Structure 1
Amino acid sequence: MKVNMESSILLKPSYEGEPPSTAGSIPLSVFDKVTYDTHIAIIWAFKPPTPPNTNMQKGLQKVLAIYREWAGRLRMDENDRPSILLNDEGMRFVEASADWTLDHTMLLKPSKTLLNFHPTVKGVHELLQVQITRFTCGSVVVGFTFHHLVADGQSTINFLIAWARACRGLHKNPLPLHDRTIFTPRNPPRVEFEHQRIEFVNKKVIKEHPYPYPNSDDSSNRLIMHKVHFTREFLTKLKAKASAGRNRPHSTLECLVAHLWRAITQARGLNESEMTHVRISVDGRARLNPPVPNEYFGNLVLWAFPRAKVKDLLQEPLHFAAKLIHDAVSNVNDDYFNSFIDFASKEEEVKDLVPTAADKLVLCSNVDVDSWLKFPIYDLDFGGGTPYIFMPSYIPVNGLFYLLPSIVEDRSIDVFISLFEENLVQTKRTILLKPSYEGKPPSITDSIPLSVFDKFTYDIHIPVVWAFKPPTPPNTTIQKGLQKALAFYREWAGRLGIDNKGRPAILLNDKGVRFVEASADCAVDQAMPLKPSVALLNFHPSVKGVEELLQVQITRFTCGSMVVGFTSHHIVADGHSTKNFLIAWTRACRGLDLNSLPLHDRTIFTPRDPPQVKFEHKTIEFKNKKVEHPWLNYTSDGLVIHMVHFTLEFLTKLKAKASAGRNRPYSTLECLVAHLWRAITQARGLNEFETTHVRISVDGRARLNPPVPNEYFGNLVLWAFPRAKVKELLQEPVQYAAEIIHDAISNVNDDYFRSFIDFANKEEEVKDLVPTADADKAVLCPHLEVDSWLRFPIYDLDFGGGRPYFFMPSYIPVDGMLGLLPSINGDGSIDVFISLFEENLATFNKICYSLSP
């Protein structure tokens, strides 16, 4: 499909009476000089009836007589000042046609297709350009480009309204104010703020280009402009949440920008110690004292730069970001504008500086907001009615987003966001799924009291992610299979609460699990990282502050691949139980029955009479509420999750070395953990007299006597804590560490489990204790924790289109946390996901494959 250019001419102003001199000029103000030196391109679409091109052309010429700057040129005046020469050379007016209907052409989101509907903005001398494109259906698209050095958004909207009124035979009232010399510095000047690093930057800095990504063709090819629609209902809830505790709510702009800033930062997967800011335009007309009339024509904008550490922005509630934005915008006041005028008017100060409003393809880790929310863009009537589409053209700048009132005119908002493909995941639907029963549903007033193993495990959701290549089953198949499985595993559809006897319990109220359907406008290989990063958080529902005990997100990609994100609350079930549920779910999706039914009775762990507490549980599984821990002084800034692949050949050699002199070799888990414990301890550079331990989960099903069936659903895990002095751990050979680990795991036996049951049931003993299974620790140093999935058939989970081609835990940055998974190769090799500080990673990488003693 091609757009045909019918004519392209220069339009000059049409004056009533004698034309003015074409030798005049208007010097640029300090606000003009510091803004973007570029054309801004926007597009409207109108349904028939539409006025003829001649009407629009004549109206444009009439209004150019009032706004002469647009028909001029940017040059130096006779005093060698950057100026707009009022030479009436004219603006570009293009007439075009398309041999198809508008609906077949216009996309509802910016794309390169839109570049066909306005004149090019590259290398043009004209300061304003208009293109009228007519379609066979009678619709019209108006493409409009204007040079930002001439006018800001407020001035441009005044001009557009004047043009629309002129097309309808109406006069422009009131007239524009053209005097750009009104911004004079004070005498003496009072520069009270740091403008050199805010509005200006040294020319040398720009040349060195320290941005995280280059402005390359490769960068622009990976960029996508994405449209998101926010309903009025959503915005109302968002505003209430972001303004919690305030007498006067934050503005809609502040609340929505806060929400988007956090969402984009999370989607980008930034390092949590990195700084990020938002660039927000602030109109000075009402902020200067005395105010400048709205009719002022030119630029009168500075910028607010709310900034935060990624960690704080994402961990603090929404109102934290909203307040940062509100305060930053409020601080760009009369004092700030006058300070800027004083600074920018000092020629010696600014001669080696350039504006920070420079051309960049990539703003990461920052974002830039262009808001049109207060502009009556849908009241631009050229004589045939208001437009039904308005949007920016294709401007691929990573981190730039536009806010526009929605075309439905119900106070909803459309946001056009430019991001890299891998950052874009769009939620299409989110619902609560309830169990699907065969026959009469059970009572929803029942409950299951938590066992002692449930009460003292991690109070947190565990998120994991699988990826499947096509063909994949439809979402309805996955949804129905999930509902069938929930009928047998009702706990997941319930809620944590207190039963009628005052006990912590799972309420079997069938309130449902969270089920999210999402899509990404790219192939899975472009979006899914091969190691845990913040980007993975896009592929499963948030685990913060949710009451659902299980959540599923299905994300579809343009290549046909599918990612399943799954989060489960650990208090409901351990890894073994969750694995049984997942197998049941996938079998249900394939139309198969469950192999065996789950055992739901959590009251089987009764204490002995009399109790026999033989071990020191008070400092192992429990700790005193009042105990202060040194790790609380640590920060998680600088944590990296690193993936290491251990081949079967390496593991065989390691196992032989660690088991030297034994008739029965240690397990692969024991040998690999021993190796990693030593390598990480060495990489951390710990004091040799320090004690370090590893926390290793031990499943009690086979260790209790009599054994508990594998079908038991709930938690039945305690932990082994092999420990050693750093000096001995590093000086002794690897079999020393392997033996410590083996013995510690072996000691978590029937006697130990029974002793724990007896102790944990003593209410007086445990009332002032809390679990050592603390989900809030970001730093385990000098210790480690191991989460092993080695025995779980995670790659046999087939929803109906074949097994997954990879599986990984989500992004959980806890220093010293290890996740062990069977490799996707299926050849007996192992992938380990290790969370370490960046300063320790280089040393670890040097030694992690070394088999030296």
Structure 2
Amino acid sequence: MGNYREETRKLKVISECFVKPTVNLGNEASKTPIHMGIPDLFMLTMDTMQKGLLFDTKLQPNTLNKIEKSLYISLVHFYPLAGRLATQKFHDEHDCSFYVDCEAGTGATLVHASVDYTVSDILSSVDVHPIVESFFELGEKSVNHDGHTRPLLSVQVTELVDGVFIGFTMNHCIADGTSLWHFISTLSEIFFQINDKNEKDNALTLEAVQKISISKKPIIETLFPQKGNGPIFKLPYLEPEEFISRYDPGPLRVRIFCFSPESISILKAKANEECGPHNSISSFQALCAFMWQSITRARNLKPDDEVHCGIVINARAIFNPPFPPEYFRCFLTGTQSSSKVSDLINKGLGRSALLINQSIKSHDEKAYRGLIKIFEEHPMVVQAGPGTIYYRPNNIKIGGSSRFDMYGPEFGLGKAVAVLAGYASKEDGKVTANPGRQGGGSVDLEVCLKPETMNVLELDEEFMSFVSSI
């Protein structure tokens, strides 16, 4: 991804502070430990979430102060984000459990920085510009377990020569993409209710907080496997060294490919035509299948090699009835499709899309509960990288969502001109979907590949014929 350490040195830190509410809305749950369930524990050794918005408007004099106030009020509602992770050890059993201590720690971090780059410098870069990594927590790397000592939420406002970038880093053990964008949207919603006349007054009383309304309040309780604070799940470890690893994927190129609604419609029609009348392939499934084929072709693998396509999905939607999107938690699951290289490339888009379609359909509530039961009986922490139980060579993993309202939050700066991510969760074959900056149903895919693979993909005429140039 470029030399982020060199780029980070170009960043000037103007100020840094911690934001932690001193009031609450009478909710006693904000003082109660939140025990981490099995889906949360999956993420302990993984990277945090990092998403940010690039604006082509310069920071106004009162904007930073209003963001700080908005953050304060948001944390009254999203109170786990102001806390820290904590561990309870059971020495006799050689076990430990994890929870969020909502009252511990110094709160969320708010960083103000500047850099001598223009918006055009960022947008004109073929690959994601290496300076972008420093727009999140000043480029410092961490895994979710580090939430024992590091903030669970960090907001970094970086001034460019002619614009501003607002980067959000959120601990993935306590939230997922649905919850992240719920929080960002709420923060922006509160921002527009802050009174400019009192911009120098940093004190926020309970009465002032109560006057601020939010349209979608977070639901902060354990809904699965039972309501309330939830059971305590134990892991067979005592010390972090027994299960925490830090995976370095090596050199990668990261590029965003834009797909117009017209290109996606063509792929969808082609996939459904090849599948026959009894199957219904969605636009996203067709796009995923196209990426699976294209990346596999670029890797130049042997015909008999086994390749895999994993898709991360929102587990809220597979329950009947579905859990509400306001459910603030890390609630993800995943599907896995497999094929031989020769079959994947030679038997058409429809077959690849159908494999993905069937794997998604089969991963219902019953399958999810079965997976959780396996982890209850054999608890472990999911590791990343070669040599781990879940590592599959020649894999692509597709996450994110083009349905998130990423261009809605504006913070008085107008509509963002790009959504960009930091270093987190980058590995060979990782594809992240975002709504397209073109709008209208377009999709932007952030693709991470080894440099030699990306070089081949860019020369693939069939692949590039579906990519929009903007």
Taking structure 2 as the reference length, the TM-score comes to 0.78
1:12 equivalent in alignment to 2:20: yes
Residue of 60, 65, 83 corresponding to 2:99: 83
Q: Deviations over 1:92-138 (max 9, x none)?
A: 1100122453323554642422122111233562111111011232x
Q: Distance in 2 between matches of 1:233 and 1:17?
A: 48
Q: Does 1:378 align with 2:389?
A: no
The 5-angstrom pairing of residues 398-477 of structure 1 reads 398-425=428-455
Find out whether 1:165 has 2:182 as its counterpart.
no
Matched, 1:98 2:115: yes
Amino acid at match of 2:99: S
Q: How does 1:534-553 map to 2 (within 5 A)?
A: 538=460
Determine if the alignment matches structure 1 residue 287 to structure 2 residue 318: yes
Q: Which digits, 9 at most, give the CA deviation of each residue in 1:555-612, with x for residues without a partner?
A: xxxxxxxxxxxxxxxxxxxxxxxxxxxxxxxxxxxxxxxxxxxxxxxxxxxxxxxxxx
Using the alignment, how far apart are the partners of 2:48 and 2:262 within structure 1?
35
Partner residue, 1:140: 164
Matched, 1:30 2:38: yes
SS of equivalent residue, structure 2 residue 257: strand
Tell me which of 112, 136, 151 is aligned to 1:118.
Answer: 136
- The alpha-carbon distance between structure 1 residues 85 and 360, as it changes in their structure 2 partners (threshold 3 A), is farther
* Counterparts of 1:256 and 1:279, CA distance in 2: 14
Closer, same or farther: CA 220–147 of 1 in aligned 2, 3 Å: same
Q: Name the aligned partner's letter for residue 160 of structure 2.
A: F
- Matches of 2:357 and 2:176, distance apart in 1: 22
Whole-Å separation in 1 of the counterparts to 2:217 and 2:23: 15
Change in 2 beyond 3 A, CA 1:541/1:184: closer
Task: Give secondary structure in 1 for the equivalent of 2:444.
Answer: strand
Which AA in structure 2 matches 1:134? E
Q: Would the alpha carbon gap of residues 372 and 14 (structure 1) be closer, same or farther in structure 2, given more than 3 Å must change?
A: farther
Match of 1:183 among 213, 225, 229: 225
Judge conservation of contact 2:82–2:108 (CA < 8 Å) in 1. yes
SS at match of 2:323: coil
Question: Counting helix residues as a fraction of each chain, which structure ranks higher?
Answer: 2
SS of structure 2 residue aligned to 1:272: coil
Tell me, which stretches of 5 or more residues in structure 2 are unaligned? Answer: 1-6, 91-95, 194-211, 228-241, 466-470
Separation in structure 1 between the aligned mates of residue 332 and residue 393 of structure 2, nearest angstrom: 23
Question: Please, which of 161, 165, 174 is the counterpart of residue 216 of structure 2?
Answer: 174
Q: Is structure 2 residue 272 aligned with structure 1 residue 238? A: no
Instruction: Give the equivalent residue in structure 1 for 2:328.
Output: 297
1:72 alignment partner in structure 2: 83
Counterpart contact for 1:241–1:319, Cα < 8 Å = yes
* Residue identity matched to 1:87: E
In structure 2, the residue corresponding to 1:226 is in which secondary structure? Answer: strand
Q: Tell me, in whole angstroms, the C-alpha distance in 2 between the residues paired with 1:366 and 1:42.
A: 23
Aligned-partner Cα distance in 2 for 1:378–1:402: 16
Q: Which one-letter code corresponds to 2:154 in the other structure? A: Q
Shift in CA distance, 93/258, structure 1 to aligned 2, threshold 3 Å: same
Contact kept? 2:398, 2:432, Cα under 8 Å? yes
CA shift digits 1:431-488 (9 cap, x unpaired): xxxxxxxxxxxxxxxxxxxxxxxxxxxxxxxxxxxxxxxxxxxxxxxxxxxxxxxxxx
Contact 2:43 2:381 in 1 (8 A): no
Partner of 1:272: 303
| Alpha-carbon distance change, 399 to 128 in structure 1, aligned in 2, over 3 angstroms | same
Structure 1 letter corresponding to 2:135? F
Contact 2:50/2:169 (CA < 8 Å) preserved in 1? Answer: yes
- d(CA) in 2 for partners of 1:105 and 1:334? 42
Instruction: Give the aligned length.
Output: 400
State the AA in 2 paired with 1:63.
S
Cα contact 2:177–2:400 (8 A) shared by 1: no
Matched-pair contact (CA < 8 Å) for 2:158–2:166: yes
Q: 1:421 to 1:49 in 2, by over 3 A?
A: closer
Distance 1:19 1:162 in 2: 19
CA-to-aligned-CA distance 1:183-227 (integer Å, 9 cap, x gap): 149xxxxxxxxxxxxxxxxxxxx99x9xxxx966xx612x21122
Q: Which amino acid aligns with 1:143?
A: G
Contact 1:29/1:181 (CA < 8 Å) preserved in 2?
no
Flag the 1:34–1:126 CA change in 2: closer, same or farther, 3 A.
same
Residues 101/391 of structure 1: CA separation in 2 closer, same or farther (3 Å cut): closer
CA distance in 1, matches of 2:386, 2:128: 18
Closer, same or farther in 2 for the Cα pair 1:177/1:313, shift >3 Å?
same
* Secondary structure of 1:424 counterpart: helix
Q: How does 1:318-357 map to 2 (within 5 A)?
A: 318-346=349-377, 349-350=378-379, 353-355=380-382
Q: 1:11 to 1:371 in 2, by over 3 A?
A: same
Q: Secondary structure at the match of 1:154?
A: helix
Aligned to 2:427: 397
Seen in structure 2, the aligned counterparts of structure 1 residues 363 and 336 have a Cα distance that, compared at 3 Å, is: closer
Cα-to-partner distance string for 1:471-522 (whole Å, 9 max, x where unaligned) = xxxxxxxxxxxxxxxxxxxxxxxxxxxxxxxxxxxxxxxxxxxxxxx65xxx
1:155 aligns with 2:186: no
The one-letter amino acid of 1:414's match is: D
Q: TM-score, normalised by structure 1?
A: 0.44
Aligned to 1:59: 70
The aligned residue for residue 201 of structure 2 is none
Alignment-mate amino acid for residue 382 of structure 2: P
Cα distance in 1 between the residues matched to 2:360 and 2:311 = 8
CA displacement at 1:288 relative to structure 2: 1.2
Q: Note the C-alpha offset of 1:257.
A: 0.6
- Say if 1:359 and 1:69 are closer, same or farther in 2 by CA, change over 3 A: farther
Instruction: Report the counterpart of residue 698 of structure 1 in structure 2.
Output: none
Q: CA separation of 1:27/1:335 partners in 2, compared to 1, >3 Å: closer, same or farther? A: same
Task: State the shift of 1:15 in Å.
Answer: 2.8
Which is further off, 119-128 or 226-235?
119-128
- Matched with 1:45 is 54
Q: Which structure exhibits the higher relative contact order, with contacts defined as CA atoms closer than 8 Å and separated by 6 or more residues? A: 2
Say if 1:409 and 1:56 are closer, same or farther in 2 by CA, change over 3 A: same
- For residues 293 and 408 of structure 2, the distance between their equivalents in structure 1, rounded to whole angstroms, comes to 32
Larger radius of gyration: 1
Letter in 1 for 2:177: G
Cα deviation for residue 355 of structure 1 reads: 1.9
Query: Displacement of 1:43 after TM fit?
Result: 2.0
Tell whether the 8 Å contact from 1:111 to 1:394 is kept in structure 2 after alignment. no
Displacement of 1:329 in angstroms is 0.6
**Identical aligned pairs, as a percentage?**
22
- The Cα RMSD (Å) is 3.0
Where 1:377 maps in the other structure, the secondary structure is: coil
Within 2, Cα distance between the matches of 1:237 and 1:181? 40
Matches of 2:386 and 2:174, distance apart in 1: 20
